[in-house]
Amino acid sequence: MPGKTYDVIVVGSGASGGWVAKELTEKGVEVLMLEAGPPRVPTRDFTEHIWPYQLKYRGFGNQKKLLENQPVQRLCYACDDYSHQFFVNDNDHPYTFPADKPFMWIRGRQVGGKTFCWARVSYRYSDFEFKAASRDGYGQDWPFSYQDLEPYYDRVENFIGVSGSAENLPQLPDSKFLPAMRLSCGELAAKEIVEKKFGWKLIVDRTANLTVPLNGRPACHYCDECQRGCFTASYFNSPSVTLPAAARTGHFHLVSDAVVSHLVMNAEGKADGVAFIDRATRVAGEIRAKVVVLAASALESTRILLNSRSRRFPNGVGGENGVLGHYLMDHTTLENAGGVMPALASSKREPVGRPCGYIIPKYVNASARNQNKNFLRGYYFAGDGRQELYGHASSTPGFGRAWRDKVRDNIPYSFSVYAQGECLPRHDNYVALDPEKKDAWGIPALHIHASYGENELAMAKAMRDHLGEIMDELKLENREQPRDELNIFGKNIHECGTARMGHDPKTSVLNAYNQVHGVKNVFVTDGACFVTQGCSEPTLTIMAISVRAADYIAEEFRKGNL
């Protein structure tokens, strides 16, 4: 490795980096991938089939250790006694924020990034997102349309496998679907009521879990513990899907435990490669390449750009126009609404176990009959309906045979629903290098300054009202009302923006192909490039954008332009 110049360095091995590496190597480009964390070993690190009695703390974890080492990470639903190994040690990875603007930064540093424990929800964006500014006048459009990205969505879905149902909704374009999973009895009952009352479709979720075998991977066996890893690789994660494809080409090299600090720039204003620090030994080094692709996750890629300072780039690479670091977005959610569907209580257990729930796609501000002029953009609803045997058992007093009979006699049927809304891109939501705080490798930490604005608060009121109306129509009992306040910024782990794309170098960091304006051999392909976020999860779109960028890089390589 020392002294060698690679065609392309890809920083980050998750959803974006895996796809960039696969596409480039399959076109004959030699790729070196640098990952800041270690590899994961399924026999050691995957726990989806582990029972509580096999764990020292019976699934509750060493709370003292979690508080000491992962006080932020443990707030994520997926970080627990089974899966805390997929999340960073917060002491090694500090960041700062204003006291009145808390931010929850969930991170996974390992080969595969967060693709081991992501929720696998896979929705396409539409021109409701890509051309949002043309619709309502706020902000700016993406530098391409849905039609431009559609073939790349197709390529991603055909390779990773996305299950779902075709619904012909303009605000939620259909995918290249595998057979859909089934709605539960409670969801079918809710579907009839919601569609009759509101005119909204309630459909089974779209998820990157295989329902039939695909490309040598078996179908999901529905253990429903996806956040703990997957021995069968039945859902998409890069170490099981895209990285092996890259490795099979013979043009792929992977170096783990390499913490990239900044780009190494030359006198001509191009990147010669990257500087990194060995995670374990703390030894610093540099690696050369003709092209650098940052796919380290939105905020980490932006941190690398900001830290790539020199006389020519005093504000970091891409920072000359004051846009780099700005327009941070994360979805808003109102959670924990729901109750019991009394008509479906039964002593017979429903044979439903799935790694998904339902979704009611965005309708507000997506059609003429569903307009709300109090805010821009919109939101969707999701949740699940299922029998609650174990929660019912733990709350039922008694013991012995009489207790078992009581538990089994009348198992309640619960129905949960939450709302997820769009966050507008605002210049005053930003990240910057902290002038004092550094991480365990001496790299400046990020200071994150972000909060929800008036539009998100107005949207939250409408979301809360609709949640109440849905629960009213379903006649739920023992209701749990949604929290009054929005979630903490960052909690959804959908952070996007901070190095956005655009045609104009004065108002964007990247061009339409994820290339840094003015530095033609540096690309950013993860969520940092987003211009708007919509209300849907970003990962599928990140993957499609990464494939499109890789095609462009390969073609520019062929032409000798890089």
CATH fold label, 1-161+236-326+427-450+495-562? FAD/NAD(P)-binding domain (3.50.50)
Residue 3's pLDDT is what?
Answer: 75
pLDDT band at 553 (very low <50, low <70, confident <90, very high): very high
Reduce the DSSP state of residue 296 to 3 states and report it: coil
Mean pLDDT of the chain: 95
Residue 422's pLDDT is what?
Answer: 98
Residue 420's pLDDT is what?
Answer: 97
pLDDT greater than 70 at residue 1: no
Q: If residue 188 lies in a helix (H) or strand (E), which one and from where to where? A: helix 185-198
Of residues 411 and 551, the one with the higher pLDDT is 551
Residue 554's pLDDT is what?
Answer: 98
Return the closest-CA partner of residue 423 out of 483, 477, 487.
Answer: 487
* pLDDT > 90: percent of the chain: 88
Reduce the DSSP state of residue 288 to 3 states and report it: strand
For 244-257, what is each residue's pLDDT tens digit?
999 999 999 999 99
Report the distance separating Cα 196 and Cα 352, nearest Å: 25
Token pair in block for residue 99: 């006291």
For 171-200, what is each residue's pLDDT tens digit?
999 999 999 999 999 999 999 999 999 999
* Bridge-based pairing state of the strands 177-178 and 258-265: unpaired
> Nearest 5 degrees, angle CA 38-CA 41-CA 46?
115
Sequence-distant (6+) residues with CB within 8 A of 41 are none
pLDDT band at 60 (very low <50, low <70, confident <90, very high): confident
Residue 297's pLDDT is what?
Answer: 98
Return the closest-CA partner of residue 204 out of 159, 154, 163.
Answer: 163
Distances (CA, A) of 349 to 279, 387, 396: 49, 7, 17
* Bridge-based pairing state of the strands 379-387 and 358-360: antiparallel
pLDDT greater than 80 at residue 62: no
Q: Taking the domains of the chain in order of start, what are their residue ranges?
A: 1-161+236-326+427-450+495-562, 165-234+332-421+452-488
Of residues 392 and 343, the one with the higher pLDDT is 343
Q: Report the pLDDT averaged over residues 101-119.
A: 97
For 438-485, what is each residue's pLDDT tens digit?
999 999 999 999 999 999 999 999 999 999 999 999 999 999 988 878
The DSSP string of 213-250 is -BTTBPPP-----GGG--TT--B--TTTTHHHHHHTTT
Residue 67's pLDDT is what?
Answer: 87
Residue 461's pLDDT is what?
Answer: 96
Residue 63's pLDDT is what?
Answer: 80
Residue 174's pLDDT is what?
Answer: 98
Residue 336's pLDDT is what?
Answer: 87
* pTM, rounded to two decimals: 0.96
Return the closest-CA partner of residue 459 out of 338, 365, 320, 355.
Answer: 365
pLDDT band at 20 (very low <50, low <70, confident <90, very high): very high
How many helices, marked H, and strands, marked E, lie in the chain?
13, 17
Reduce the DSSP state of residue 463 to 3 states and report it: helix
Residue 2's pLDDT is what?
Answer: 59
pLDDT greater than 90 at residue 394: no
89 with 71: CB under 8 angstroms?
no
> Nearest 5 degrees, angle CA 73-CA 79-CA 84?
90
Alpha-helical (H) ranges within 70-165 are 127-130, 132-136, 146-160
Alpha carbons within 13 A on the beta-carbon side of 419: 30
Token pair in block for residue 533: 């976020």
Q: Report the pLDDT averaged over residues 312-329.
A: 97
For 369-390, what is each residue's pLDDT tens digit?
899 999 999 999 999 999 877 7
Reduce the DSSP state of residue 415 to 3 states and report it: strand
Return the closest-CA partner of residue 172 out of 125, 127, 205, 136.
Answer: 125
